[in-house]
Amino acid sequence: MDISYWRELNDGFTDFLVEKGYTHDITRHYRGTINLLIRFANANGYKAYTQEIGEKFLKSEERLMYLQQAGYQRQRLVIRRFNEYLDDGKYSYTYLRVNYECPEAFEEVLEHYLKSLETANLKQCTIDKHRVFTIKLCRDFARNGIESWDTVDAKALAGAFDRATSKAQFAACIRKLFGFLVKEGIVKYNYAGIVPQMHYWKRIPSVYSSDEIEAILGSVDRSNEVGKRNYAILLLAARLGMRSSDISFLRFENIDFVKAIIEFKQRKTGVANQLTLLPEIAEALQDYINNARGDSVEPYIFLTCRESLRKGVLPQLSSGAICRVAAKHFRQSGIEFGDRHHSAHALRMSLASGLVAENVPYEAVRTILGHEDPNAITHYVKFDTESLRSCALDVPMASGRFAEYLASGKGAL
C-alpha cells in the first residue's frame, strides 16, 4: 500500500476543511473518519480511492453495528464531503462509471467531445464528470422526443434544465459542451446562453492586520529546533502567501538561495509558480536547515520533530500539521481573533488583503498567489476594509415627518 498517497489525500482534505471554515474539533473528527477509511482500504488491498470504495466502507461500518444511527449518519456526511473535495480534480480518482448507455444517435458526438477534453489536458476526473453529465442530458433529450443533435433547440435545453436534479452541475457543464458543438458545426446556435448562471455565497475570508501578523510571528521561540522550523513556515505563509500543501512539499531543489527565488508546482492547481525569496525568509530557512533540521536525507525541507521520528512517524511534515503549527501560534500570540479563522490559509488571505489595500495591481496579487483565473482576485476587495471606508457616504440629517417622528420619542427602543 502506498501510504504516501493516502496520507496526502487526508492532508489535502484537512486543508479543504480549514479553507471551508470548519472548526478544529470538526476537522479532527473528519480526519479520524478518513483514517478509518484508509485502514479499510489497506485491509482490502485498494490502491486508490473511488466513490465505490467510500460506499463499501460505509456498508462495512454499518454492519459492525457498534455505531448509533446518528454516528453512522455523521460518517456518511464525512464521506460525502470527501467526495465533494475530490470533485475539484485535485487527485486522480475516478467517478463511478454510469451503468446506463448513451443513446446511439448521440454517442458518436459524445466520444468526439470527450476526445477534445483529453486534448485540452483536462484531468481524468473532470472528463468523467463531463461524460456523466452529457450522457444524462442525451438520455433526457431521448425521453422527451429529441432524436438527434439536429433537433436540439432552446426549448429542449430549457426543459432539460428544469428537469435536472443538479442545476449547478448543469450550468457548469453546458457551456463547455455547447461551445464544442457550435465550433464543430454540430448545432447552429449556442443555446447554453439561456441557462442561468448559478451564483453561490462565498464566505469572506478571515484577515489580520500587519500588527497582528507581527504578533503571531513574534510568538515563536526561535531558540529551539521546533521554533526555528515553525518560524520559517509562518514566514512562507505570511510573506509569500504559500499554501500549507506547497510548504509541506517544498524541496531543496525548489529553492535557489543565490538567485533568491522559490520555484514549485502548486499542489492544488498543478500550475508552476515562482516567488521571490525575501532576505528575511532566506535567513530563517538557513537557520532551520543549518541549526535545527539535522542531517536527514529526506528531499523535503520541513520534517517532523525528532521525538515523532522515534515513534515511526513519516519524516515529512504534513500540510495538516502545518495548519496546526499556524493555529498554535495564533493562540500563543494573544491576539483576539474572535470568530475569524486562525490557520495558515488566514495568513495567505491576510497577505492578499494587505496587498490590495496598498493598491498593488490585481494582476500582481494574482501572480503572487498563483491563480490562473484573472477573476480569482476580485473578491479580495470585499475585505479591503480601509478602501471601502473611503467610499462610505455621510448619513443625511432627518427631515420632514421622519424628523418629527424621531423628535417625538416614539422611535426610541
Model confidence at 29: pLDDT above 90: no
Cell numbers found for residue 369: 498567489
CA distance 60 to 220: 45
Cell numbers found for residue 212: 497582528
CA distance 254 to 265: 9
Confidence at residue 388, expressed as pLDDT on a 0 to 100 scale: 52
Q: How confident is the model at residue 379 (pLDDT cuts 50, 70, 90)?
A: low
Model confidence at 70: pLDDT above 70: no
Contact residues for 186 (Cβ-Cβ < 8 A; gap 6+): 109, 149, 180
* Of 345 and 20, the one with more pLDDT: 345
Confidence at residue 309, expressed as pLDDT on a 0 to 100 scale: 45
Q: How confident is the model at residue 65 (pLDDT cuts 50, 70, 90)?
A: very low
Amino acid making up residue 382 = K
Confidence at residue 262, expressed as pLDDT on a 0 to 100 scale: 96
Confidence at residue 280, expressed as pLDDT on a 0 to 100 scale: 96
Confidence at residue 97, expressed as pLDDT on a 0 to 100 scale: 45
Model confidence at 286: pLDDT above 80: yes
CB 167 within 8 Å of CB 198: yes
pLDDT digit string, tens, across residues 218-272: 999 999 999 999 999 999 999 999 999 899 999 999 999 999 999 998 887 778 8
Q: Which residues pair with 264 in a beta bridge?
A: 273
Model confidence at 205: pLDDT above 90: no
Confidence at residue 77, expressed as pLDDT on a 0 to 100 scale: 86
CB 55 within 8 Å of CB 61: no
Give the chain's end-to-end CA distance (angstroms, integer).
Answer: 67
46-60, 88-102, 386-400: which is most confident: 46-60
Q: What is the mean pLDDT of residues 300-316?
A: 65
Model confidence at 307: pLDDT above 70: no
* Of 299 and 89, the one with more pLDDT: 299
Which is nearest to 30 in space by CA: 42, 14, 18?
A: 14
**SS3 sequence of 122-163:** CCHHHHHHHHHHHHHHHHHHHHCCCCCHHHCCHHHHHHHHHH
CA distance 172 to 93: 20
327-336, 353-362, 396-405: which is most confident: 327-336
78-82, 110-114, 389-393: which is most confident: 110-114
Model confidence at 37: pLDDT above 60: yes
CA distance 62 to 73: 10
Cell numbers found for residue 175: 457551456
Which is nearest to 251 in space by CA: 319, 299, 298?
A: 299
Confidence at residue 384, expressed as pLDDT on a 0 to 100 scale: 53
Confidence at residue 91, expressed as pLDDT on a 0 to 100 scale: 46
CB 76 within 8 Å of CB 58: yes
The residue assigned the cell 480549514 is 18
40-44, 153-157, 315-319: which is most confident: 153-157
CA distance 362 to 351: 13
Ramachandran bin of 53, using left for φ above 0, alpha for ψ from -120 to 50, beta for the remaining angles = alpha
Confidence at residue 203, expressed as pLDDT on a 0 to 100 scale: 57
Tell me the average pLDDT of the chain: 81
Confidence at residue 19, expressed as pLDDT on a 0 to 100 scale: 66
Three-state SS for 356?
helix
Confidence at residue 108, expressed as pLDDT on a 0 to 100 scale: 93
Model confidence at 130: pLDDT above 70: yes
Q: How confident is the model at residue 413 (pLDDT cuts 50, 70, 90)?
A: very low
- Percentage above 70 pLDDT, the chain: 80
Model confidence at 3: pLDDT above 70: no
Three-state SS for 276?
strand
Confidence at residue 257, expressed as pLDDT on a 0 to 100 scale: 96
- Measured on CA atoms in the order 299, 304, 307, 308, is the torsion positive or negative? negative
The CATH code of domain 104-194 reads 1.10.150.130
- Measured on CA atoms in the order 139, 140, 141, 142, is the torsion positive or negative? positive
The CATH code of domain 210-389 reads 1.10.443.10
Cell numbers found for residue 99: 451503468
Q: How confident is the model at residue 172 (pLDDT cuts 50, 70, 90)?
A: confident
Q: How confident is the model at residue 89 (pLDDT cuts 50, 70, 90)?
A: very low
Q: How confident is the model at residue 391 (pLDDT cuts 50, 70, 90)?
A: low
CA distance 355 to 360: 5
